[in-house]
Amino acid sequence: MKTTITTLLAAIAIPIAVSASPALILETTITENHATGGPDVMKVPQISTESGKQAVVKLGKLEYAVTPTLLDDGTLDLRAVLTERHGDKADVLTAPAIKVKIGQVAEVKIGELTFATTTSLGK
């Protein structure tokens, strides 16, 4: 009987141990804001990733790398790094950490560019 209980407990624990982080969908709207004429939307990619894994959006020489981490309270810790590439060299332009709720917009602005990221739960 002890073997049966141990086997049963092991069978229950396996699905729990291998369950992955929930899929997160990052939608980043990149706009260029002009003094006259309003903003121009340049790109709106959607990237699926997992909690704690980085997603990268490229726009010319710019790279916007964002790592969403789902916290126990249901909020997200977004770590973003915006770099400008020059061949093998990369200059970090900004690296904010933003705490948001799922569905809430997190914005990173640099010069005339705005990177607005909304995160939702994947299926």
In the block, tokens 């904010």 appear at: 96
The average pLDDT across 106-119 equals: 92
Q: What is the pLDDT of residues 16-69, one digit of tens each?
A: 444 457 789 999 999 998 878 778 898 899 999 999 999 999 999 999 999 999
Residues 72 and 4: their CA atoms lie apart, in Å, by 34
**92 vs 62: CA distance, rounded Å:** 10
Task: Report the 10 Å Cβ neighbour count for 67.
Answer: 18
Structure confidence at residue 53 (pLDDT): 94
What is the overall mean pLDDT for the chain?
84
How confident is the model at residue 100, as a pLDDT?
A: 94
The distance from CA 14 to its chain's CA centroid, rounded to whole angstroms, is 28
How many helices and strands, by DSSP H and E, does the chain display? 1, 10
Residue % of the chain over a pLDDT of 90 = 60
pLDDT at 115 over 60: yes
Q: What are the extents of the domains in the chain?
A: 21-121
Residues 73, 33: Cα–Cα separation, whole Å: 34
- Output the CATH code of domain 21-121: 2.60.40
pLDDT at position 65 is: 94
What pLDDT does 87 receive? 87
What confidence tier does 12 reach under pLDDT thresholds 50, 70, 90?
Answer: very low
User: What phi and psi values does residue 15 have, to the nearest 5 degrees?
Assistant: -60, -35
